[in-house]
Amino acid sequence: MIGPRKPKPHIDGFVFDLDGTVYLGDHALPGSVAGITQLREMGKQTLFVSNKPLEPREVYAAKLTRLGIPTDPEQVITSAHVLGRYLARTEPHLRLYVVGEANLIAELRRHGLTVVEELEDQDPKQVIIPHDIDAVVVAFDRTLDYRKLNTAYQALLGGARFFATNGDKMCPMPGGGIPDAGATIAALEHITGRRVELLAGKPSSLILQEAMDLLRLTPDRCMMVGDRLETDMRMGQQAGMITAVVLTGASGREDVARMTPPLDFVIESLSELPALIA
């Protein structure tokens, strides 16, 4: 006997994770182009979120467009963009020291924020308390070196605020992964005894608040679609959104079955999304 059917939720906006959800590497995942195209034809809004602070939003938009999902930069939210917007709104006066790459520095400056210049001739072995630093921003940084670590350490000991774009321990790569921002955050937390105050990216709710602002929707009218339970799905649940996990990435059915509270939907492909909603 078939039990009573769950009513279909009324969803006006979809927030998609990218890697493992929409594409994997340089290829769209099966069903993702068709699913997103159909949702748009139904008049639904679509937004894409990435924790990576390495590229501007234009790059992600261009990649999605190339894969068959025409996207404007305004439809992409990165952890760097969210942090820039948040700090510009709440702490615009802070002088920031960035343990990160060029894109993040440019993004923060685009938001009118002050990024302290690197002192190239400063002896990395010296103890110099940098008095012109009000906050340290840690990010995925493949140019991390001892001088940056020492400057951040000294600034944090001197009382600087402690922010980060994202907390991912490692960044998946073909053949494995490489250390991400979480590695640097852990090092600085370990040596200073302090805890990072703010993560802009997933699983922090900040990135979804930004998404809802852009969509101009309340959480119950939004669906979070992603492949990771402890970031994408947990964050969606905490924000009060409808959640759908897609099994094309990091999570399998057994992982999903263990999740409490349970997710709203489990799908094999994004092409199933249009049928789930009213």
- Interface residues with Mg ion (CB under 5 A) are 17, 19-20, 227
Nearer of residues 57 and 161 to Mg ion, judged by Cβ:
57
What DSSP element (H or E) covers 50? strand 45-50
Instruction: Read off the DSSP letter of residue 76.
Output: E
The candidate with the shortest Cα–Cα distance to 56, out of 78, 83, 25, is 78
Closest distance to Mg ion from the beta carbon of 225 (Å): 10
Beta pairing partners, 19: 23
Closest distance to Mg ion from the beta carbon of 96 (Å): 28
Give residues with Cβ within 8 angstroms of 163, minimum separation 6. 83, 87, 135, 136, 137, 138, 196, 197, 198, 200
Nearer of residues 24 and 62 to Mg ion, judged by Cβ:
24
Closest distance to Mg ion from the beta carbon of 273 (Å): 16
* Count of other CB atoms within 10 angstroms of residue 108: 25
CA 211, CA 13: separation in Å to the nearest integer? 9
Please identify the residue of the shown chain whose CB is closest to the bound Mg ion. 20
Closest distance to Mg ion from the beta carbon of 211 (Å): 15
Nearer of residues 157 and 247 to Mg ion, judged by Cβ:
247
Nearer of residues 49 and 136 to Mg ion, judged by Cβ:
49
Closest distance to Mg ion from the beta carbon of 17 (Å): 4
Nearer of residues 203 and 219 to Mg ion, judged by Cβ:
203
